Homo-oligomer: A and B are copies of this chain.
């Protein structure tokens, strides 16, 4: 997953993009980058590994002048943690300097790449975004917009994009609308961002959320709607609401916090835990869900787990005889709340199960009499091919185990998952969502080799 931002018509656009990326940091912590365009349409890129606050400092931002900028925060995905893959991708094309920030994942990138390579294209990254850039550069359409459109007509999958070509900004969302993208106004300029929380931080007011298939051009802060992309059935990513987006954002027209409280309420109705004496969340992602659960169930809300926010990305384990589960570094139970009680633990979802298993053990060690785990989404049975870095099917505990088996594995007294219907009710609509990872109903064809591509070497491999 990634966070993207675009700025047009605002002096010192790179600093604004930096600020916006700060608010989008939860969408990607692997790398951060900004490309700024100055008045003469000279593009200056800067990308680095790590958090926005680590990559950028005052002296770096001072070298990125201009009132147009594109920014990107990239999620840590297995096997490709290399600077070459950091975005925005910036190149020189016949349309001029082009910078592109991409949130989502293409499903036919491997196939398109094979064809492009045959035709003499050279690739410097293993990212699917570079495929789009080649398609744009090679399109023979008359206008830049025509070139972008021609390229997008060839790709399949999920893409919310911010593209700068010279001083012109484009914002696009694929016709299925997997990933969010929102347009805001700040003074006489415009800001495009993955989530509204970025607009809040920079002080922009929300103009509108881009609909699936929307394609707009922004020049000097002026927005022009371009003809929309060919329509497809809408399939918004429900996991954005369940887990990914920040609760203070409005995504797909819904308050994320509101949806999460409703998920908790639905969960309490579908999967009550009558034996529970206290209910608490696994902070912070399921805080609102525990609140909703408590409200409907009448079980008293507590803070049973404390999260250590100082956990760095590298952690050194003591030697063998002192090995500490990483989850212990991150969470510690509040003994006073838990001791002797029958507790209900609310979490948003369950992926591999290892973290939850450790958490349950920790809660039991703190004296819980009974542990009832409630999950505010259905069992995850398949990988996401649209941009969320879920593990392979084999690693997803719910793809190979029954709920009963999972409960045993976790060591809980009871386990309850929210139903697909319940989740969609809370999300605000029973249709228009992609819930492939829960239901197996993938809205696009999924080529066999897509998985391989996703786990390909970060380095340049010979195509054999």
Contact = CB atoms under 8 A, between A and B. Distances in A.
Interface of A: 10-12, 15-16, 18-19, 22-23, 25-26, 29, 40-45, 51-54, 56-58, 61, 90-94, 96-98, 117-124, 133-134, 137-139, 166, 187, 197, 200-203, 246-248, 250, 255, 257-258, 284, 287-288, 291, 295, 300-303, 306-319, 321-322, 324, 328-329, 332-337, 457, 459-463
A92 B22 contact: no
Contact of A201 (B247, B328, B334, B337): B328
Contacts of A321: 11, 187
Contacts of A117: 92-94
5 contacts: A12-B318, A22-B315, A26-B308, A94-B117, A97-B462
A320 to B, nearest CB: 10
A260 to B, nearest CB: 9
A311 B312 CA distance: 13
Given A12-B322, A42-B457, A316-B57, A334 B462 contact: no
B332 A462 contact: no
A56 B459 contact: no
A306 B247 contact: yes
B328 A255 contact: no
Contacts of A16: 318, 322
Given A23-B308, A322-B202, A460-B42, A92 B247 contact: no
Contacts of A334: 247-248, 255, 257
A93 B118 CA distance: 8
Contacts of A26: 308, 310
A97 B124 CA distance: 10
Contact of A43 (B15, B22, B203, B460): B460
A459 to B, nearest CB: 5
A319 B11 contact: yes
Nearest to A203: B324
A133 B460 CA distance: 15
Contact of A23 (B96, B202, B332): B332
A462 B301 contact: no
Contact of A53 (B93, B303, B314, B332): B314
Nearest to A125: B92
A91 B335 CA distance: 39
A10 to B, nearest CB: 8
A143 to B, nearest CB: 15
A329 B22 contact: yes
B29 A316 contact: no
A257 B97 CA distance: 48
Contact of A19 (B120, B302, B310, B324): B324
Contacts of A94: 117-118, 120, 463
B92 A460 contact: yes
A58 B316 contact: yes
A177 B248 CA distance: 42
Contact of A310 (B25, B314, B317): B25
A44 B308 contact: no
A68 to B, nearest CB: 12
A200 B247 CA distance: 31
Contacts of A19: 318, 322, 324, 329
Contacts of A166: 462
Contact of A122 (B137, B300, B309): B137
The 10 closest A-B pairs by CB, nearest first: A53-B312, A120-B138, A255-B336, A25-B310, A96-B462, A97-B460, A15-B318, A91-B122, A41-B462, A248-B306
- Most B Cβ at <10 Å: residue of A52, A250, A307, A336: A336
A321 to B, nearest CB: 7
Contacts of A201: 324, 328-329, 332
Contacts of A43: 459-462
Given A16-B318, A319-B11, A45 B459 contact: yes
Contacts of A461: 40-43, 92, 97
Nearest to A83: B83
Given A92-B460, A306-B248, A316-B58, A137 B124 contact: no
Given A247-B303, A257-B306, A301-B301, 15 more contacts: A11-B319, A12-B319, A19-B322, A22-B311, A43-B459, A43-B461, A44-B459, A45-B459, A53-B311, A92-B117, A200-B328, A203-B322, A255-B335, A287-B303, A295-B300
